[in-house]
Amino acid sequence: MKRFYILGFLALIIFDTLAQVSFKFASVHAEPLTMDAAWLVRVFGAPWIYGAFVGYIGAFFTWMTLLKYAPVGPAFAASHLELISVTLISVWLFDDTLTWPKIIGGALIIAGILCLARSEDKESKTVEAEPSQPLVS
């Protein structure tokens, strides 16, 4: 089951990152921002906008599948790993600056995910060790 979680969250990160990077490329392609039909033509004329759609649809179905099996707390926290992947890819593709606050924020996200996963693991072992009680008396 751990392999399922790892592959699932890896797919979720890839889809979310694809969506965010695609939106960035599409927005650059569609500049300048104007509220008219010409801007919409530029947006939908950019192939990257369709990458964003694919990313969001893929992320949606991956997330729904993960929620069916994974505990919500750690799953929700792990879904935020995309913030780290998008930050790193933005440094590479868009020449964004990697600052200490971004590095510390990414480390805190990872630490939070590890804490939640560890506490969830301990809780599941405790529940398995206790005799089951009927929910209704």
Whether 62 is covered by a domain: the verdict is yes
Length of the chain: 137
Whether 137 is covered by a domain: the verdict is no
Whether 32 is covered by a domain: the verdict is yes
Q: What is the pLDDT of residue 134?
A: 58
Tokens of 92: 């590479």
Whether 120 is covered by a domain: the verdict is yes
**Which is more confidently placed, 23 or 80?**
23
Q: What is the pLDDT of residue 48?
A: 94
Whether 92 is covered by a domain: the verdict is yes
pLDDT digits (tens, 9 = 90+) for 91-104: 999 999 999 999 99
DSSP characters over the chain = -HHHHHHHHHHHHHHHHHHHHHHHHHHHHT-S--SSHHHHHHHHHSHHHHHHHHHHHHHHHHHHHHHHHS-HHHHHHHTTHHHHHHHHHHHHHH-----HHHHHHHHHHHHHHHHHHHHHHHHHHHHHHSPP--S--
- Residue 133, pLDDT above cutoff 80: no
Whether 37 is covered by a domain: the verdict is yes
- Residue 122, pLDDT above cutoff 70: no
- Residue 78, pLDDT above cutoff 70: yes
Read off the DSSP letter of residue 131. Answer: P
Domain count within the chain: 1
Q: Which of 90, 72, 80 is nearest to 111 (CA)?
A: 80
Q: What is the pLDDT of residue 132?
A: 54
Query: Mean pLDDT across the stretch 31-59?
Result: 92
Residue 36 structural domain? 2-129
Query: Mean pLDDT across the stretch 106-121?
Result: 84
